[in-house]
């Protein structure tokens, strides 16, 4: 196609007919105006045909002959398609600048008639389609097509004629993939090369070092591989180098420090490694971004003397040692992000010295010491995030009231002392994160109405005292309110009516008393409600019925009483976690509860529930699904994810990061009776099941082997009878089993994991036998799970007589053994202690 255009070029020039008259040029410009729209009324105000020269039109310049030579309507609010064929009838047009508008359509071959063009700027528009070969435009010095929606394979080869190019800007388009275009390294006059997001693959050629006039080199957001060529060190005039978001490897090449004019360096989001020693001499740096790589070693001390450095981004590397103590002392430092490294020592004290600092992000390191007292004067500070270090001491008093603060993140440190009431004066505050420290004293009684933007407040796991402020309810923007693990006392205030945006509320593990206030039902956006581990009383609150978006409801470890309401099953369609353990709930388990198809965790343990386990338990659809990947319950940008405590493999465990993988039921420590419903074995996605310490009877369901993901199974301390089903041997993930203290009989099924379990898991079942038990099975003995109802009566009589005789002999034999076998005697009395303990609990 490009070859054909070259052949036709002389004829196209003849058709243009040389110079145009002023009238013809006026007509061309008026046609251009008519083809476009503008959002700015004054753009074409001067473009009229009423006796005015085209040279007086806004955006138009003419040459000495009065012919239009430049058309510059950059950022003029233009929309529509560009009539290239018409415009290129202007014979002297050398500059066409239509960048930063809303122009659409394609770049047509009519553009190729503009052979006098030296400057073409169509960047920052919505042009689409393929770019035609540009060989006829061999006068071009500036070519800018960046930030459009251009597609197809860019005609790199056609640029070979554009030997005088000084600016080539094609970035941020949607071109087809192509190798690094070797043609560009032949443009010896290039000062600006912008090829970011051009779908370029391969390595950066060493010949890039030939472009010694380059001031700006941008190759970011491509698919570049290999190392940064050492020849790049020849580009001594370079002020901006952007290589971020590629797959570059290796280290900063030798000689890189020779780029003494470099002001802006961004090689972030690559696979680079090695140390940063080559940066020592780059003392003109203004911005240094190397985050999300694998750099190691220490930050050169010389950076503390860089007088122009304002931005430092080194997060997510493997850097160690101390930050340069003088960092920010001589420059107008604005932003530092060294998150997720291994830095030690104290935070540099002078980063706010020039009064320009906006963001200090030093979290996930090993910093020690205090927050520098000088930071209390940093009135420009917008974000202070130092979480997850080993910082300590009292927070400087005036820091709490810095007027521009939007984020205060001091979480997971060792700070102590009070939280100042001055925090209530910080109106822009959006995130207040003080959790997991040693803050003490009363939480300030702050009027929530002062915080116009506060969304996230986490003061959990400190030593805060006092009562909850009734003014909390005035914080209408709050989405997260987390106050768990303190020493807060008193009643929960009735102040929640206006908090329609609150999504997460955690008041667990405090000393709160009284009833749940009715206004909590007004929080229609609530997803997570944790009130567990307090001393709350009353019945299950009817007002919560309105919170139909609940995903987690945890009221465990309180003093609630009454029945579990049936309406739970119809009111919370999204509920995944229901935890009511360790209360005084009574009555039966309502069958409607098992309409909660999304339920993943059900914990009703340690209550006073009676009756049978409803057969509708098999309707818990989410527990029947075998998850192949994590199904995240909820997580946000600040790392919060839901968490609960579960009885797991015999001990209370805290689940947070892996919570989405856990599915199961705990109904232990109640007064449930009758048989285990076979429908329970349909829930093949469960990883734990605890029905211990009840009065369940009958046999273990024969299809128990369907629960083949189960890791923890506890059926102990019931009245289960019959044989252990052979299918239990197929539970290959099972590593915690307790069937003790039942009436089970027969042979223990053979299975690799069953043979490795401690024999105590079968204790208290006198009629069990097997390799791991003292009682061995006879080879000819067959065990039955029940006695046939139509059997011979004499056989039953002899069975009873034999059983009675066996009991007498066994009893005195057992007592005799206890008198001689010390270890058995101790085990027996420990077992009796457990029984007495259970009786006292129940």
| pLDDT tens-digit series, residues 532-542 | 999 999 999 99
| pLDDT value of residue 659 | 61
| pLDDT value of residue 640 | 53
CA torsion angle for 145, 147, 148, 151 (degrees, to 10)?
80
pLDDT over 60 at 658, yes or no: no
Does 75 fall in a domain? no
Strand order in the sheet with 671-675: 489-491, 511-514, 535-539, 559-563, 584-588, 608-611, 671-675, 695-697
* Range in 16-25, 108-117, 613-622, 624-633 the model is least confident about: 624-633
- Name residues whose C-beta falls within 8 Å of residue 821's C-beta, 6 or more positions apart in sequence: none
Structure tokens at 247: 């797959």
pLDDT over 60 at 716, yes or no: yes
Share of the chain above pLDDT 90, in %: 75
Residue matched to tokens 């020693």: 277
The neighbour count for residue 532, using CB atoms within 10 Å, is: 24
- Name residues whose C-beta falls within 8 Å of residue 215's C-beta, 6 or more positions apart in sequence: 191, 192, 237, 238, 239, 240
Q: Distances from the Cα of 650 to the Cαs of 47, 533, 655, 715, 738, in angstroms?
A: 85, 19, 15, 12, 9
| pLDDT value of residue 498 | 87
CA–CA gap between residue 41 and residue 351 (Å, rounded): 47
| pLDDT value of residue 661 | 73
Domains identified in the chain, total number:
1
Is residue 244 within 8 A of residue 316, CB to CB? The reply is no
Phi, psi of 828 (to 5 degrees): -65, -45
Phi, psi of 249 (to 5 degrees): -125, 180
Does 102 fall in a domain? no
Q: Distances from the Cα of 427 to the Cαs of 355, 405, 458, 480, in angstroms?
A: 20, 8, 17, 18
CA–CA gap between residue 444 and residue 424 (Å, rounded): 8
State the residue range of the domain holding 394.
Answer: 297-440
DSSP helix/strand/coil, 45: coil
Structure-model confidence comparison of residues 813 and 134, the more confident one = 134
| pLDDT value of residue 258 | 95
The neighbour count for residue 40, using CB atoms within 10 Å, is: 12
Q: What are the tens digits of pLDDT across the range 467-481?
A: 998 888 888 889 999
CA–CA gap between residue 832 and residue 836 (Å, rounded): 6
Residue 786 Cα to chain centre, angstroms: 55
CA–CA gap between residue 323 and residue 372 (Å, rounded): 14
Does 754 fall in a domain? no
Please list the helix, strand and coil fractions of the chain in percent, rounded to the nearest 5, in that order.
25, 25, 50
Structure tokens at 784: 């039955």
Q: What are the tens digits of pLDDT across the range 728-777?
A: 999 989 989 999 999 999 999 887 677 778 889 999 999 999 877 888 88
Mean pLDDT of 315-340: 96
Structure-model confidence comparison of residues 775 and 793, the more confident one = 775
Helix (H) or strand (E) holding 84: helix 84-87
CA–CA gap between residue 143 and residue 145 (Å, rounded): 7
CA–CA gap between residue 503 and residue 305 (Å, rounded): 47
pLDDT over 90 at 806, yes or no: no
Does 687 fall in a domain? no
CATH number at residue 354: 3.80.10.10
Is residue 404 within 8 A of residue 382, CB to CB? The reply is yes
Whether the model pTM is above 0.85: no
Does 59 fall in a domain? no
pLDDT over 70 at 790, yes or no: no
Does 419 fall in a domain? yes
Is residue 522 within 8 A of residue 545, CB to CB? The reply is no
Does 394 fall in a domain? yes
Does 475 fall in a domain? no
pLDDT confidence tier of residue 217, bands split at 50, 70 and 90: very high
């Amino acid at each position: 196609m490009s070859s054909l255009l070259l052949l036709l070029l002389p004829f196209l020039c003849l058709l243009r007919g040389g110079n145009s008259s002023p009238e013809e040029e006026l007509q061309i410009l008026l046609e251009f105006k008519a083809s476009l729209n503008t959002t700015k009324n004054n753009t074409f105000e001067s473009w009229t045909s009423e006796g005015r020269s085209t040279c007086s039109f806004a955006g138009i310049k003419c040459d000495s002959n009065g012919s239009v030579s430049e058309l510059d309507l950059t950022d003029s609010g233009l929309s529509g398609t560009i009539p290239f064929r018409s415009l290129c009838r202007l014979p002297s047009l050398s500059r066409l600048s239509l960048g930063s508008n809303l122009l659409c359509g394609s770049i047509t071959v009519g553009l190729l008639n503009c052979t006098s063009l030296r400057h073409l700027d169509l960047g920052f528009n919505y042009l689409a389609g393929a770019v035609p070969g540009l060989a006829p435009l061999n006068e071009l010095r500036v070519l800018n097509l960046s930030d459009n929606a251009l597609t197809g394979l860019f005609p790199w080869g056609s640029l070979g004629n554009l030997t005088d190019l000084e600016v080539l800007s094609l970035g941020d388009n949607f071109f087809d993939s192509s190798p690094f275009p070797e043609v560009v390294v032949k443009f010896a006059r290039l000062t600006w090369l912008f090829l970011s997001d051009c779908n370029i693959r391969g390595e950066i050629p060493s010949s890039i070092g030939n472009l010694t006039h380059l001031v700006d080199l941008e190759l970011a957001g491509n698919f570049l591989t290999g190392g940064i060529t050492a020849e790049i060190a020849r580009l001594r005039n370079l002020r901006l180098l952007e290589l971020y978001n590629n797959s570059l490897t290796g280290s900063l090449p030798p000689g890189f420090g020779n780029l003494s004019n470099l002001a802006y360096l961004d090689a972030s989001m690559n696979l680079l490694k090695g140390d940063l020693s080559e940066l020592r001499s780059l003392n003109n740096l203004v911005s240094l971004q190397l985050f999300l790589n694998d750099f190691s070693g220490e930050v050169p001390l010389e950076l503390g003397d860089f007088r122009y450095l304002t931005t430092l981004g080194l997060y997510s590397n493997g850097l160690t040692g101390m930050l340069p103590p003088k960092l920010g002392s001589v420059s107008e430092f604005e932003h530092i992000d060294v998150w997720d490294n291994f830095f030690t020592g104290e935070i540099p004290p002078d980063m706010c010295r020039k009064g320009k600092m906006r963001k200090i992000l030093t979290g996930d390191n090993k910093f020690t010491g205090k927050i520098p007292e000088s930071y209390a004067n940093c009135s420009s500070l917008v974000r202070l995030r130092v979480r997850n270090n080993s910082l300590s001491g009292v927070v400087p008093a005036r820091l709490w009231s810095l007027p521009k603060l939007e984020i205060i993140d001091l979480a997971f440190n060792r700070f102590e002392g009070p939280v100042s009431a001055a925090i209530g004066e910080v109106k822009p505050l959006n995130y207040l994160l003080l959790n997991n420290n040693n803050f003490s004293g009363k939480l300030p009684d702050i009027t929530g109405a002062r915080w116009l933007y506060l969304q996230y407040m986490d003061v959990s796991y400190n030593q805060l005292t006092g009562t909850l402020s009734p003014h909390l309810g005035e914080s209408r923007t709050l989405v997260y309110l987390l106050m768990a693990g303190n020493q807060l006392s008193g009643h929960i205030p009735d102040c929640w009516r206006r908090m329609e945006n609150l999504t997460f509320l955690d008041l667990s593990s405090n000393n709160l008393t009284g009833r749940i206030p009715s206004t909590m039902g007004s929080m229609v956006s609530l997803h997570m409600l944790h009130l567990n581990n307090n001393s709350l009383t009353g019945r299950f609150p009817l007002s919560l019925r309105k919170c139909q978006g609940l995903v987690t409801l945890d009221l465990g470890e309180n003093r609630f009483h009454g029945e579990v309401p049936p309406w739970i099953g119809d009111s919370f369609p999204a509920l995944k976690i229901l935890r009511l353990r360790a209360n005084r709930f009574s009555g039966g388990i309502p069958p409607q509860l098992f309409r909660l198809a999304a339920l993943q965790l059900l914990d009703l343990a340690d209550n006073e529930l009676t009756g049978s386990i409803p057969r509708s338990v098999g309707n818990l659809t989410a527990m029947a699904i075998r998850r192949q990947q994590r199904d995240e319950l909820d997580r946000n940008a600040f790392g919060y994810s839901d968490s609960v405590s579960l009885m797991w493999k015999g001990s209370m465990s805290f689940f947070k990061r892996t919570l989405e993988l856990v599915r199961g039921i705990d109904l232990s420590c109640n007064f449930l009776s009758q048989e285990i419903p076979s429908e329970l074995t349909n829930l093949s996605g469960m990883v734990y099941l605890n029905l211990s310490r009840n009065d369940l009877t009958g046999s273990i369901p024969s299809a128990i082997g369907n629960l083949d993901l189960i890791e923890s199974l506890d059926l102990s301390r019931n009245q289960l009878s019959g044989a252990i089903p052979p299918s239990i041997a197929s539970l290959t993930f099972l590593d915690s089993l307790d069937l003790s203290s039942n009436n089970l009989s027969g042979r223990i099924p053979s299975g690799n994991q069953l043979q490795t379990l401690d024999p105590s898991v079968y204790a208290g079942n006198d009629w069990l036998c097997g390799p791991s038990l003292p009682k061995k099975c006879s080879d000819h003995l067959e065990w039955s799970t029940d006695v046939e109802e139509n059997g011979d009566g004499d056989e039953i009589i002899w069975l009873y007589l034999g059983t009675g005789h066996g009991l007498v002999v066994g009893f005195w034999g057992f007592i005799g053994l206890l008198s001689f076998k010390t270890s058995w005697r101790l085990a027996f009395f420990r077992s009796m202690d457990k029984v007495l303990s259970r009786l006292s609990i129940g």
